[in-house]
């Protein structure tokens, strides 16, 4: 099989490529140049491209760089900025997977005559009912099925995830055994286009106008403070919002950018019985009304049992509120069946 491996410069994609070579496939590596601005974190730095190139040389495969900066800016960066402008909390990594890594990259691979694309994500592709589905990775602590929950049938049929069947410790052992230069490289944790010296605040303030906002207490309705930029507050946030009269921490409950108001409450106020959603997509067939599923609202969050209805999931036990704009991943046991955007 002729496989194009998306090599980010990290240890997981390095080992994914190496395993495919060991299995006898015809493998080529490619690194996507996505962010054209300053970057000192994430997976878009010059050093990451060099790491991917050097690893490709170590395992004896060709390596290319695909310039997708224009598409990335339009589909991911602009989306991120506009979401904050509306008071939403976007997930840029999921949008990058949706539009670049599993769309534009696959299109390029097909044009070049590859049979499949591979990445270093810790998730598995399983056949369910004769059709491919994303399932949780072997290493539950590193599971990345959540960030792949938006994938559709036609994409799943073209994807290989070589490290999804092994743990992160095993990945590093393989990399060290092969003396790969990425063997001990730390995992990327930050958004690639956010520079640590300026942070999210600096990034957004250079692209949109930020407005001061007023803070109101949910219980009393009284104004209790202010923030420099209402667009930078996210539901569930605690930092910078002060405390209640009894010393209890305050959390952002609701954000109204138009009126420049933020409603605050206690931690217990963040627990809800249901979450509304929009823009649902499904890998195969849509979920049925009243079906019991598991719902996960963040990359490292805990999945909770809920009942699915059109436009809303109702939890069996109170669940922490998910910030509007974040992705909800729907599971049947270990298998992803779809996703949606929290309202």
CATH superfamily of 2-121+161-177: HUPs (3.40.50.620)
In the chain, where does DSSP find H-type helix?
11-22, 46-59, 69-72, 78-85, 92-96, 105-111, 153-156, 168-177, 199-205
Q: Is 159 exposed, middle or buried (0-12, 13-18, 19+ CB in 10 A)?
A: buried
3-state secondary structure of 343: coil
- Predicted local distance difference test score (pLDDT) of residue 40: 54
Active site residue 96: yes
The 3-state DSSP composition of the chain as helix, strand, coil percent (nearest 5) reads 30, 30, 40
N-to-C CA span, the chain: 42
**Of the candidates 145, 141, 44, which has an alpha carbon nearest to the alpha carbon of residue 94?**
145
Q: Cβ of 129: how many Cβ atoms within 10 Å? A: 7
> Which parts of 113-180 are beta strand (E)?
116-118, 123-128, 131-136, 159-160
Active site residue 93: no
- Best CA proximity match to 230, nearest among 251, 210, 249: 210
Total-model pTM: 0.93
pLDDT in tens, the chain (343 residues): 999 999 999 999 999 999 999 999 999 999 999 987 655 555 667 789 999 999 999 999 999 999 999 999 999 999 999 999 999 999 999 999 999 999 999 999 999 999 999 999 999 999 888 899 999 999 999 999 999 999 988 899 999 999 999 999 999 999 999 999 999 999 876 788 888 778 889 999 999 999 999 999 988 899 999 999 999 999 999 998 887 666 789 999 999 999 999 999 999 999 999 999 999 999 888 999 999 999 999 998 889 999 999 999 999 999 999 999 999 999 999 999 999 999 9
- Enumerate the domain spans of the chain: 2-121+161-177, 209-265
The per-residue b/e assignment along 90-101, b for 16 or more CB within 10 angstroms, e otherwise, is bbbbbbbbbbbb
Q: Which residue among the candidates 43, 44, 93, 96 is catalytic per the annotation?
A: 96
Phi and psi (nearest 5°) for 81? -65, -45
**Catalytic residue of the set 44, 93, 192, 343:** 192
- SS3 state at 84: helix
Comparing C-alpha atoms, which of 252, 339, 253 is closest to residue 296?
A: 339
Helix (H, G, I), strand (E, B) or coil at 214: strand
Q: What is the DSSP string of 7-54?
A: --SSHHHHHHHHHHHHTT-EEEEEEEE---S--SSTT-SHHHHHHHHH
Fold of 209-265: SH3 type barrels. (2.30.30)
């Amino acid at each position: 099989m002729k496989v194009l491996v998306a090599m980010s410069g990290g240890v997981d994609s390095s080992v994914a490529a190496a395993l495919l070579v060991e299995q006898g496939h015809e493998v080529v590596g490619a690194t996507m140049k996505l962010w054209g601005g300053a970057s000192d974190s994430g997976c878009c730095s010059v050093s990451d491209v060099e790491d991917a190139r050097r690893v490709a040389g170590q395992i004896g495969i060709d390596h290319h760089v695909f310039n997708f900066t224009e598409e990335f800016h339009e589909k991911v960066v602009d989306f991120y900025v506009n979401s904050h402008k509306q008071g939403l909390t976007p997930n840029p990594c999921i949008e990058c997977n949706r539009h670049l890594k599993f769309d534009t990259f696959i299109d390029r691979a097909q044009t070049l005559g590859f049979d499949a694309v591979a990445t270093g994500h810790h998730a598995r592709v399983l056949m369910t009912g004769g059709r491919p589905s994303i399932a949780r990775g072997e290493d539950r602590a590193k599971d990345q099925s959540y960030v792949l929950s938006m994938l559709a049938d036609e994409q799943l049929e073209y994807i290989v995830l070589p490290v999804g069947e092994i743990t992160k410790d095993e990945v590093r052992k393989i990399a060290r055994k092969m003396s790969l230069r990425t063997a001990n490289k730390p995992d990327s944790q930050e958004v690639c286009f956010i520079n640590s010296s300026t942070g999210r605040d600096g990034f957004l303030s250079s692209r949109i106008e930020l407005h001061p906002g007023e803070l109101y207490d949910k219980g009393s309705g009284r104004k209790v403070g202010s923030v420099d930029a209402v667009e930078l507050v996210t539901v569930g946030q605690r930092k910078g919002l002060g405390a209640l009269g009894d010393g209890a921490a305050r959390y952002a409950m609701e954000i109204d950018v138009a009126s420049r108001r933020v409603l605050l409450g206690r931690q217990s106020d963040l627990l809800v019985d249901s979450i509304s959603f929009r823009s649902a997509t499904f890998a195969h067939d849509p979920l049925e009304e009243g079906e019991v599923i598991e719902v996960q609202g963040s990359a490292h969050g805990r999945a909770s049992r809920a009942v699915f209805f059109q436009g809303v999931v109702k939890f069996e036990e109170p669940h922490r509120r998910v910030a509007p704009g974040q992705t909800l991943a729907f599971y049947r046991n270990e298998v992803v069946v779809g996703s949606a955007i929290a309202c």
